[in-house]
Amino acid sequence: MVGSIPNFIRLSQCMQEWRVTGDSMHLWNFLKYSSNIPVLVTGLLMRQRDGYTGIWVFFAMLNSGYSFWWDINNDWNLNLFKFGHRTVGDDWLRVKLHYDIREFYYLAIIFDFIGRFVWVAKFLPSPEKGDTIFYIGATMLFSTESGWFALEVLEILRRWVWVFIKLEVDYITLTNNKDVEMNSL
């Protein structure tokens, strides 16, 4: 339950931001953090009784999908999911990018997707022993201390990548086409 405290803090912050600004985006962000509550509740129920795994997987997929969409569409302001809202010349990213290597953004999208959904893989059907590499990887990832450590490091790295792109978006938004170099900030 202690691990859910940051989630409830963010829920409170989203509501406060909505009250102050009236911007409905804060309510949609509130919904994103709310989608984690069923994951937490069914996770607790799974520890006490059998039969909740499928429900947990459903809620975890819903939460991971919405969070991934939010990262790409809103936090990173990329065009990947903005169907019908792209202008001529736009691609899957956005027109103004600070980082020179465009592949960084594509790799970040893939990395964010993996980081958001890898936790659900714990409850997927066990791989067959004939699928040696996948079987060994899945077994080590979810049943050893080093596997859990690797998952935690993956999550920390995912959040760092998220921060770098989010800061870039905020920088672009704040400078709003002004000639302010990032180095001067």
**Residues 147 and 113 reside in one and the same domain:** yes
Q: Is the dihedral of CA 17, 23, 25, 27 positive or negative?
A: positive
Domain total for the chain? Answer: 2
- Residue range(s) defining the domain that contains residue 106: 89-184
Average pLDDT over residues 137-149: 81
- Give DSSP secondary structure letters for the chain: -GGGHHHHHHHHHHHHHHHHH--THHHHHHHHHHTTHHHHHHHHHHHHSSS-HHHHHHHHHHHHHHHHHHIIIIIS--STT-TT-PPTT--SS-S--SSS-HHHHHHHHHHHHHHHHGGGGGGSPPPPTTSHHHHHHHHHHHHSHHHHHHHHHHHHHHHHHHHHHHHHHHHHHHHTT----GGG-
Q: How confident is the model at residue 173 (pLDDT cuts 50, 70, 90)?
A: confident
CA neighbor of 63 nearest in space, from 26, 25, 34: 34
Q: Tens digits of per-residue pLDDT, 61-119? A: 999 999 999 999 999 999 888 766 655 555 778 888 888 898 999 999 999 999 999 98
**Residues 59 and 27 reside in one and the same domain:** yes
In a domain, 80, yes or no: no
- Supply the pLDDT for residue 157: 97
**Residues 49 and 105 reside in one and the same domain:** no
Q: Which residue has the tokens 């790295």?
A: 157
Instruction: Tokens for 14, please give them.
Output: 């989203």
At 141, the amino acid letter reads: L
| Total-model pTM | 0.83
**Residues 94 and 180 reside in one and the same domain:** yes
**Residues 94 and 121 reside in one and the same domain:** yes
- Supply the pLDDT for residue 95: 82
Q: Which has more confidence, 141 or 112? A: 112
Q: Tens digits of per-residue pLDDT, 35-64? A: 999 999 998 998 888 888 889 999 999 999
- Supply the pLDDT for residue 93: 87
In a domain, 26, yes or no: yes
Q: Tens digits of per-residue pLDDT, 4-23? A: 898 899 999 999 999 999 99
**Residues 64 and 98 reside in one and the same domain:** no
**Residues 128 and 65 reside in one and the same domain:** no
- Supply the pLDDT for residue 2: 78
